[in-house]
Amino acid sequence: MSEATASMATALSGYELLADPQLNKGTAFSEAERDAFHLHGLLPPHVSTLDEQISRALQSLRQFETDLERYAFLRELQDTNETLFYATLVGNLEELLPIVYTPTVGAGCRQFSRLYHKPRGLFLSIPHQSRLDQIFAQPRFDAVEAIVVTDGERILGLGDQGAGGMGIPIGKLALYSGCGGLHPATTLPILLDVGTDNTDCLADPLYVGWRHERVRGQDYDDFIEAFVSAVIRRWPRVLLQWEDFAKDNATRLLERYRDRLCTFNDDIQGTAAVATGTLLAAITVTGVPLTQQRVAVFGAGSAGCGIAGLIRAAMCDAGLSESEAAARFFMVDRNGLLVEGMDGLAPFQVPFVQKRQAIDGWTLGHPDRIELLDVVRNARPTVLIGVSGQAGAFGEPVVRAMAECNQRPVIFPLSNPTSRAEATPADMEAWTGGRALMGVGSPFPPLMRDGARFKVDQTNNSYIFPGVGLGVLAVGASRVTDGMFMAAAKALADASPARDNPKHNLLPPVSALREVAANVALAVAMQTHKEGHAPGVSVDQIEERIRAKIWTPCYVPLTAKQK
């Protein structure tokens, strides 16, 4: 599967070969390959280079008027010629990442049923639960090493998209290959179709999913158990990434299965790592030690509490006790600040509730509810993080209050897509007088600072999960731990351009994501070895294993194999 593969034998020929996206080269098939595989006449006579094909693809892409049209074009290219798709993506990450992934993937999920043309990945529905082993047994999946799975219930900030949620695993795995270098043949996107409560989907005559209200309770848990058990039987060493599950399921499923196979939840752990890494980079600019940070998180679901958990662990590493660190977090949800004694607290929220005596004497806008603005004015946080999916939640009063109590306020509105961001960079820049250190979940237009264009950091999981996956798979890790995500966060912080110049960005540019992934992979693999989850691998083997795992998209010579 590596770049150094001399040749590959296949029994396919003619249209069958052209229809296989992993083997198809389009106009780049050589004259010898056209002879061997009966392709003369099926292709134009000119033999193209990969670079010529990339140029043609980019010209076509740039002629479209909307990003959704560009998204559809790239999805079609991926389903037709994977090598060309990834070569185009790798060479143009900054331009294409917002189309392949956030923010455009959100529109792709909403329009999934209308854009669907060719099969990719697996749609596993409850009516076919008894057939999981049979579905997984197809030889085409023999090489699978990494799975991204969703049930479509909490897609970005858009909510229940049913079968349309498949756009997320497809997009995530495109980044695993494009940024992390995993060979696409080793990846598998999966949609667990347990129905949908989205009435628009159910009423849509073109909806491709199971037309049934969303199954919950024991039947849901039984289906998840059947799925995980079948995965372990088929791929006992696979990396399984959970993606965009609702708050009530995300944390409990992670806790249930994290010790049974190599698995993690990117919304909880990946988001936590990128936020922690970016905060560690910001500290080098603000000069406020980690032990003195006060962190307000708007959106106290699984992602928000995951962020708080990893930053708290970093604070403990820096010298605070767990109770001292926990007291520095102010988690705000739909019912306001989480305080002890509140009804309906989820178990993962409990460690971060504020004690009643800690808020005695606060001046409140409303006596029965502690709003985000109350928290900022009274707690005077140094950091404000948003994972609420509520557009505009960081309004002018909130941002100005952050600027009043901090010389360099750290503000991360991380909700995706851009339409759900808690604040825009332009507004934060204006309301803080250009003093904010900011990171956003999806790309926004550049700002003007000191007469020059300044790109706002995209504090997105794409800085973390491709490297985590690469490192874990390179050393054959048996488990994924929180310690590995801490190592990933610190590796990201170490790569911050702001370490050398405080006027520079907190994060490396998106164009450097493959390099970032390799560095994160090395840190994760070293931590995996340290924790004893990389049996049979020595430290001096790790770098070579990572290099050997990184696939660079290029055409491999094909030879004919007898059927």
What's the CA gap between 66 and 36, in Å, rounded?
A: 41
Chain CA centroid to CA 73, Å: 22
One-letter amino acid of 490: K
Is 265 marked as a binding-site residue?
no
Contact by Cβ (8 Å): 162, 209: yes
CA–CA distances in Å: residue 140 to residues 143, 184, 214, 256, 559: 7, 12, 30, 29, 19
Q: Is 101 assigned a catalytic role? A: yes
Is 249 marked as a binding-site residue?
no
Q: Is 490 assigned a catalytic role? A: no
Is 368 marked as a binding-site residue?
no
What's the CA gap between 226 and 235, in Å, rounded?
A: 14
Is 400 marked as a binding-site residue?
no
Other C-beta atoms lying within 10 Å of the C-beta of residue 185: 18
Is 267 marked as a binding-site residue?
yes
DSSP designation for 546 = H
One-letter amino acid of 526: M
Other C-beta atoms lying within 10 Å of the C-beta of residue 150: 25
CA–CA distances in Å: residue 80 to residues 21, 83, 141, 262: 5, 9, 18, 31
Nearest Cα to 339, choosing from 307, 308, 371, 380?
371
Cα three-residue angle 108-112-118, rounded to 5 degrees: 115
Indicate which residue of 25, 172, 247, 549 is catalytic: 172
Is 500 marked as a binding-site residue?
no
What's the CA gap between 476 and 487, in Å, rounded?
A: 17
Indicate which residue of 71, 86, 101, 207 is catalytic: 101
Contact by Cβ (8 Å): 239, 525: no
User: What positions carry a catalytic annotation?
Assistant: 101, 172
From the annotation, which residues make up the binding site for (S)-malate? 154, 416, 460
What are the binding residues?
154, 243-244, 267, 416, 460
